[in-house]
Amino acid sequence: YQAMLSAAHELPEGSLVFLSDRQELYVRLRGGFRRVLVSCGAGGAPRPGLHCPPCPSSPVVPSWQLHLVALNSPLSGGMRGIRGADFQCFQQARQVGLAGTFRAFLSSRLQDLYSIVRRADRVAVPIVNSVLFSNWEALFTGSGAPLRAGARILSFDGRDVLRDAGWPQKSVWHGSDAKGRRLPESYCETWRTEERAVTGQASSLASGKLLEQAASSCQHAFIVLCIENSFMTAAKK
């Protein structure tokens, strides 16, 4: 999937992309990709004029990973609250055919960043865009979540936020301490204000870290990340 996103700008609208590891088909649209749902008829019989191989009796073995993807544009601290940010993650994920549940990579009044991913998926499942971290817990050791050398973070529409001019300020909002715990004095009043005098905790990606500790004015428009909060099998999708 990451390869598909990175090639988005090279593909004309209407292009079809088949992901062999997931056995899924996507079509290139103006705003990204949309998954094409293909199913056999009753009993596996193909419709006239349509070749349809027998439907598999068992699900395809899934690729165990959680996606960390950026929203398609930077946002100030006024995101209409955590629900507003979560909704943008949900909406943009659906637009490109991602069926998992995506939540904003943010702490807020009733939410620690660390708690967003389901407990069962925090240790064994890698965090990917390109491979960024071996698992969710690796982000919260207190070291600031250093990124792997050469790591890329793509947006839902396939742009690399570290290099694309659409994100002139290469910082990411998170509102957390280095352990992923909420910082009530530094999350832009629960992500509802862009006032200059109010601050939100952010990290400059120039530091090579995702959880660097820097209190920044909420007027700034920074990168907002979305994390798939639980691994989904092909059957669940």
Helix (H, G, I), strand (E, B) or coil at 100: coil
CATH number for region 62-228: 3.10.100.10
Supply the DSSP symbol for 89. H
Contact 156, 96 (CB under 8 A): yes
* Per-residue pLDDT at 54: 42
Q: Is the pLDDT of residue 56 over 60?
A: no
**Residue-wise burial string across 31-44, b where 16 or more C-beta atoms lie within 10 A, e elsewhere:** ebbebeeeeeeeee
Every domain of the chain and the residues it spans = 62-228
| Total Cβ atoms within 10 A of residue 188 | 28
pLDDT digits over 4-27, tens only? 666 666 677 777 777 666 666 777
